[in-house]
Amino acid sequence: MRYLTIALTKGRLAKKALALLEASGITCDEMHTDSRKLIFVNEELKIKFFLAKATDVPTYVEYGAADIGVVGKDTILEERKNLYEVLDLGFGKCSMVVAGPPEMGALLTHNNAIRVATKYPNIAKDHFYNKKNQKVEIIKLNGSIELAPLVGLSEVIVDIVETGSTLRENGLVVLEQICPISARVVVNRVSLKMEQERIHRIIEGMKENL
Ligand code: PRP
């Protein structure tokens, strides 16, 4: 039997995904230690786990370096990799939105040439170019996106909102909803055919313990 490899997104999603896997009998005690090890193995079940940055999880799964991945819908939409999305885990819930100072709302109703700062250029392009037909300039940033309208880099941002406190504390508001986000299970296309039974069992186990 070959090893099946599961890629988990570092941080909160990994903790919740691991709890779910453990509840369904797929344990990995090693992963709870504070070691610098990158790969953890359950020898009995022939399953390997590793932690990766969110944006890299779809890449590992597309190439088959991981058979299964747990990653946010935001990353799946942004990375546009060739893989199967098989399960909505229902945690890691947040919304992809257009946000900005309240007065910028008016700039979204006409075809204004505004600037949009975001960590998600593909999602922003799809929203503005394809859905709204608004020719905006998209500026890619890597974090603290809320800063952009505060310092005059852009009029609005495209970002995820969870509790809304970052927006609130910076005088920003949600101007448009784009889509709901949550953690998803993704599977490599070839693995799903070759290891159908084992993968199906893992996914069913997670589903039953949601
Ligand atoms: C995310 C997101 C917002 C914030 C939203 O940033 O980009 O900034 O969380 O959460 P809230 O609605 O609960 O305030 P993250 O903390 O991942 O860091 P980043 O800004 O460096 O991307």
Q: Which residues have any ligand 1 atom within 6 Å of their CB?
A: 143-146, 159-166
Name the nearest CA neighbour of 78 among 122, 47, 40: 122
Mean pLDDT of the region 182-190: 98
Residue 133 CA, ligand 1 centroid: distance in Å: 27
- Whether 189 shows a pLDDT value over 80: the answer reads yes
59 in Cβ contact with 80 (< 8 Å)? no
Using 50, 70 and 90 to split pLDDT, how confident is the model at 34? confident
Q: What percent of the chain has pLDDT over 90?
A: 89
pLDDT at residue 197, rounded to an integer: 97
Q: Please state the three-class secondary structure of 114-152 as a single string.
A: CEEEECCHHHHHHHHHHHCCCCCEEEECCCCCCHHHHCC
Q: Does domain 4-92+182-208 correspond to CATH entry 3.40.190.10?
A: yes
Ligand 1 atom nearest residue 145's Cα: 20
How confident is the model over 59-90, as pLDDT tens digits? Answer: 999 999 999 999 999 999 999 999 999 999 99
| Residue spans of beta strands (DSSP E) within the chain | 4-9, 39-42, 47-52, 68-72, 84-88, 94-100, 115-118, 137-140, 156-161, 173-181, 183-187
pLDDT at residue 42, rounded to an integer: 93
Residue 18 CA, ligand 1 centroid: distance in Å: 22
Using 50, 70 and 90 to split pLDDT, how confident is the model at 94? very high
- Whether 32 shows a pLDDT value over 80: the answer reads no
Mean pLDDT of the region 4-25: 94
pLDDT at residue 30, rounded to an integer: 78
Structure tokens at 41: 């193995």
CATH 3.40.190.10 occupies which residues in the chain? Answer: 4-92+182-208, 94-180
Whole-prediction pTM: 0.95
Structure tokens at 57: 């999880």
What residues form DSSP beta bridges with 177?
A: 97
Q: Dihedral through CA 157, CA 160, CA 164, CA 169, nearest 10?
A: -40
CATH class assigned to 94-180: alpha beta
Mean pLDDT of the region 123-150: 97
Using 50, 70 and 90 to split pLDDT, how confident is the model at 100? very high
Question: Phi, psi (5° rounding) for residue 92?
Answer: 70, 35
Using 50, 70 and 90 to split pLDDT, how confident is the model at 36? confident
